[in-house]
Structure 1
Amino acid sequence: MKFIKLLSIAVILSVMTSCSETIKFPVSKIAPAADITAEVKKQGEPNYLVTLEANNLASPERLEPPKKIYVIWAVSAAGVVRNVGHFTQENAEKSTYKASFPYQPVEVFITAEDEEGNCFPAGVEISRAILVKPNRD
């Protein structure tokens, strides 16, 4: 009986984790110590939960030139770029972002900006990751 319970738990956990994909951002030339990852989980049609985590990301005020905030941008399959939020600083070493999207983002990038509410990226790009590989039809 214990074996069946353990096996059931293992199957459930593997199914839950197989629905998400973790993508590692490339090393940034602007903030090379930053270790940035994105996890994308399908929440149901058509929603996707996107979680970004940045470890050792320098404060934007320490950049040259100094900036005020790190803004997160998502690109849709149609090529539309949207300002989807900014990093929340949990401590000096870790920044996080979590949001639900009504579409599957194909690309996410981070910029250092002077203002949070920009409609278009104007600051320096920190890093960019492709979340969905293009079809080769």
Structure 2
Amino acid sequence: MSMIKMINPSAPILFRYLLLFVMLIAFSSCSKKFIFTESAIVPAANGTIKVKKDKNENYQVDLTVTNLAPADKLVESRNTYVLWANTSGNGTKNLGQLKNVKRLFSKTLRSELKTATPFEPESFFITAENKADINYPDGQVVLKTR
């Protein structure tokens, strides 16, 4: 029997599917996704945070929130929103200020924040604050992750 007849013709296709499966598992295991729970303060708001460890051992944080009412329209009017991370062993950290952006062809308010932190986040929350450059949350928690 010749060597050509012994090779399974479906082997290259099987190998491609196996390689694709391994790559999908590798990419999905590298990032963690957090979902904000429903809020009584801003009931229309919803959002997610994706966290991924980078090559420098920092945690890349990508936040997207939609329908977050402007902070000055809340019952307790404030100037801005701040994203906080509860970290493992390092307390609560200010990750940055959120700003609502209205897209050209959309009525949906959208907030995005891309940042990095050296501290491993365990959960997140957003507060309404008068200033963004604060070290500890002072305002009302409007959204939090599970």
TM-score (norm 1): 0.80
Q: Give runs of aligned pairs for residues 1-137 of structure 1, distance below 5 A.
A: 8-9=19-20, 11-44=22-55, 46-91=57-102, 92-130=108-146
Letter of the 1:102 partner, please give it. P
User: Per-residue deviation at 1:99?
Assistant: 1.0
Shift of 1:70: 0.5
Q: How many equivalent residue pairs?
A: 130
Quote the RMSD (CA, aligned, Å).
2.1
1:123 Cα deviation after fit: 0.9
- Shift of the alpha carbon at 1:95? 0.6
Letter in 1 for 2:39: S
Distance between the aligned counterparts of 1:8 and 1:46, measured in 2? 26
Q: Residue 133 of structure 1 aligns with which residue?
A: none
Percentage of matched positions with identical amino acids: 32
Q: CA deviation at 1:5?
A: 5.5
Q: Could you list the runs of 4 or more consecutive aligned residues of structure 1 that deviate by over 3 angstroms after TM superposition? A: 1-11
The answer for unaligned runs of 5 or more in structure 2 is 1-11, 103-107
1:104 and 1:9 mapped to 2: Cα distance? 29
How far has the Cα of 1:65 moved from its partner? 2.0
In structure 1, the residue matched to 2:9 is none
Query: Deviations for 1:12-60, whole angstroms, at most 9, x for unmatched residues?
Result: 3442233112121111111011012111112146311111111111111
What is the one-letter code of the residue matched to 2:81?
A: Y
TM value normalised by structure 2: 0.76
